[in-house]
Amino acid sequence: MGEIKKDMVEMKEAPEGYEGRGFFATKLDSVIGMARSNSLWPLPFATSCCGIEFMATASTNYDLARFGMERMSFSPRQADLLMVMGTIAKKMGPILKQVYDQMAEPKWVISVGACASSGGIFDTYSVLQGIDNVIPVDVYVPGCPPRPEQILEGVMKIQELAKSESLRRRNSDEYKRMLEGYNIEVSK
Ligand code: SF4
């Protein structure tokens, strides 16, 4: 491994708080939000061409690792960001829902590309016309396919969400009602 120089390490801004000689005080919510947003573990649910764009996003030129996201998870139980990329057949809907169900809270979902978001050009009997028919989506990335820059922007939107939402948002009545609308139980 090459030597890590000081200017290669990007320091993250501290959350809002009070600073004095030898101390810094802030809210637990802010610290946890900062940690969560800079260590998202994505589960790539890639079924077709948009998945190839994701591979480019994760590799050298675009380097998803800059966002603390280099640790891909192929197990839903160790992932908190579900990235759905590609055409989702109706038969796959229940499987996608099962994967989402198996992820622990807090969890977020990005729908990457026209197919995942709306069925795209495949307005046919066999293709799900948007994954939000079966699971809730936090960020939609448009395009057919979206460029890696767009996927990165989607990830940054999720970071903003993770940073700003309350620790307990997932326990809110509104969130529970939304999941109930999808016939999904809120995990503890
Ligand atoms: S949105 Fe376009 S590039 Fe992405 S999976 Fe669908 S057809 Fe392929």
The answer to whether position 138 is within a domain reads yes
157 assigned to some structural domain: yes
Look up the pTM and report it. Answer: 0.88
For ligand 1, atom 2, name the residue with the nearest CA. 144
**112: CA distance to ligand 1 center in Å?**
9
Q: What is the CATH number of the domain that holds 143?
A: 3.40.50.12280
Whether residue 17 lies inside any domain: the answer is no
Q: Which domain holds residue 96?
A: 29-165
Q: Which atom of ligand 1 is nearest to the CA of 114?
A: 1
Separation between Cα atoms, residue 50 and residue 41, nearest integer Å: 19
Q: Where are the beta strands (DSSP E) in the chain?
A: 17-20, 23-26, 42-46, 81-85, 108-112, 139-141
- Number of domains the chain contains: 1
Does 135 fall in a domain? yes
> Cα–Cα distance between 154 and 174 in angstroms, integer?
23
188 residues of the chain, pLDDT tens digit each: 566 676 777 777 788 888 889 888 998 888 899 989 999 999 999 999 999 999 999 999 999 988 887 788 999 999 999 999 999 999 999 999 999 999 988 899 999 999 999 999 999 999 999 999 999 999 999 999 999 999 999 999 999 999 888 777 777 888 888 888 998 877 65
Residue 85: inside a domain: yes
Has residue 7 been placed in a domain? no
Q: Which of 49, 110, 118, 128 maximizes ligand 1 atoms within 8 Å of its Cβ, making it the mutation to test the pocket?
A: 49
Within a domain: residue 12?
no
User: Is residue 99 in a domain?
Assistant: yes
